[in-house]
Amino acid sequence: MRFEGLARLGRGVIGALERLGRAHLLLLAILGGTGEVLRRPRLLFDQIYNLGVLSLLIVGVSGLFVGMVLGLQGYYVLQQFGAEESLGIMVAASLVRELGPVVAALLVAGRAGSSLTAEIGLMKATEQLSGLEMMAVDPVRRILAPRFYGGVIAMPLLAAIFSAVGVLGGYFVGVGLLGVDEGAFWSQMQAKVDFQEDILNGVIKSLVFGIAVTWIALFQGYDTVPTSLGVSRSTTRSVVHAALLVLGLDFVLTALMFGD
């Protein structure tokens, strides 16, 4: 009894390590299904549709509003220094470097990640996964791998769309409503936003986030306790873990990319 607290801590740590191990084994198994995905691109198309096309609306609309808010807020701050021409840089740099990849990843985790987890979790709870195994079909290759690649492919595209729509939103507010010079808006942006430094790094970030979000969603579904409560908990965990991991990874990646 004296060591109950300590033992609980130990159990928690061991359990977390076990889950981490299982998650990595699952990732390996999914990567082992790459050939299957390439052989049957239809499975992949379906998942790009599910994860990408169906997330397009929320990502596009969010991008537009985030860009417009950046335009407004940026204008009022920059105006105080008489530097409202720099609005373009501010909007574009913050979108391309940070907000595009991060917010798109958070939205995808909420919109698509949760549905992935629930789908896989329910398939497990209703024995569909066992059923596939008994039909000698590997559910990891047949069900999980296409979803993984679908998410990894869709994420950078969604992030790019988010950023592009956001820049247009910022342009609309800054140039259209607040009267910032159009040339200055674009010229400053182009002068300061570097293709490799900013755009490519943003794409790399969103690729990493895509892997993280889809991996977590699939693992949470696959590792779920096969009951209604279990699936609901896994779905929540999927979103929470994905959001935390995206933000944590963002810090690490930012430090690595823009740190020096």
Which among 76, 69, 57, 75 is positioned nearest to 95, based on CA atoms?
A: 69
Interacting residues of 67 by C-beta distance below 8 A, sequence separation 6+ = 91, 95, 165, 166, 167, 168, 169, 170, 171, 172, 173
**Using rule CB under 8 A, residue 158 touches other proteins:** yes
**Using rule CB under 8 A, residue 116 touches other proteins:** no
CB 251 to other proteins: min, Å: 23
CA distance 260 to 249: 17
List 1, 4, 81, 259, residue binding other proteins (CB under 8 A): 81
Nearest 5 degrees, angle CA 211-CA 217-CA 219?
Answer: 95
CB 23 to other proteins: min, Å: 19
CB 56 to other proteins: min, Å: 6
**Using rule CB under 8 A, residue 3 touches other proteins:** no
CA distance 148 to 140: 10
Tokens of residue 195, six digits: 């293709």
**Using rule CB under 8 A, residue 126 touches other proteins:** yes
**Using rule CB under 8 A, residue 56 touches other proteins:** yes
CA distance 30 to 218: 10
Which string of x and - marks every residue 34-53 that binds other proteins (by CB under 8 A)? -----------xx-xx--xx
CB 156 to other proteins: min, Å: 7
Identify whether the C-beta of residue 226 lies closer than 8 Å to the C-beta of residue 125.
yes
Site residues, other proteins (CB under 8 A): 45-46, 48-49, 52-53, 56, 81-86, 92, 96, 126-128, 130-138, 142, 154, 156-158, 160-161, 163-165, 167, 181, 183-184, 186-191, 193-195, 198-199, 202-203
